[in-house]
Amino acid sequence: KSKGPSPPEESVKKLPPEEAKRVSYFSQLWELEPETRREKYSISPHRSNYMLPYTYNTSPNYEAVRAADPGKDLKYEEVVFQLSLKVKLWEDIFGQKADLWFGYTQRSFWQFYNFEDSSPFRETNYEPELLFNFRTYYRLLGFRGRFINVGFNHQSNGQSEPLSRSWNRIVANAGFERGDFSLLLKGWYRIPESAQNDDNPDIEKYLGYGEIWAYYFWKGNRFGIMLRNNLDFNPNQGAVQLEWSFPLIKQVSGYLQYFNGYGESLLDYNHRVNRIGIGFILKDWN
């Protein structure tokens, strides 16, 4: 009795155990697959969470801090750390492949080594955002389009004049993956403010309208780069951030970060920073 045609080879082919268990970076971060889905209201990482106990900035922004306190001193050495978490507020909106998230990121620049001034915090940036995340799966130039999220973003440093900085944006981001490579395209539109309320009216001349993040994963290491440019040649302003996260212990990796350009913090949005730092990062990838 004929058994009929055999199924195509790829339909019965099984992935190696290490590949079958592997979950991509964006799948973990945005819960894109059934096996990565958490319960609603669970707290998860948003952006990177790290501590750099030692950083060295060759160009501190004396002008900004001395506008408020002429006698203020700054050290080249600083402690920099970032806390970034998110929570899912609404899962599978109206039965669709979309979720509503609330994210919060806080980044602090601590003049810990300035013992003469009692180690003050130079600046902290607060960044809450509300994001609709749409789970996608399409192919573009060899990449898989994994998600698109759109939403509202507020960023401020919580200081009084003349050091106050803030802006509100409509943001749109798209994530792509190919093997061990992850690519995040970010764009934004600044919500206009009245002249009397705007303490950084020219911020787009320095930060532009978007940035690119790229990550490559290899044997527990994560190599990252961020590129940003105002796409204006008169004058051209931009920034680059290079990262290397290397295995240390199970959930904590060593972390090396280099930043050069404008917009490292809100207070430094129009000041070029050249900083390198080393420390630790919480591992949120396989």
Residues marked active site are found at: 154, 156
Q: Report the alpha-carbon distance of residue 67 to residue 47 in Å, rounded.
A: 32
Burial label for 103, CB within 10 Å (0-12, 13-18, 19+), is buried
Q: Report the alpha-carbon distance of residue 250 to residue 267 in Å, rounded.
A: 35
At 175, which amino acid appears?
A: G
Q: Report the alpha-carbon distance of residue 179 to residue 143 in Å, rounded.
A: 9
- Of the CA atoms within 13 Å of residue 119, those in its CB half-sphere come to 8
What is the gyration radius of the CA atoms in the chain, in angstroms?
Answer: 22
Tokens 């978490």 belong to residue = 85
The alpha carbon torsion through 228, 230, 234, 236 (nearest 10 deg) reads -10
Residues forming beta bridges with residue 280, ordered by sequence position: 51, 254
> What angle (nearest 5°) sits at the alpha carbon of residue 224, between those of residues 239 and 144?
110
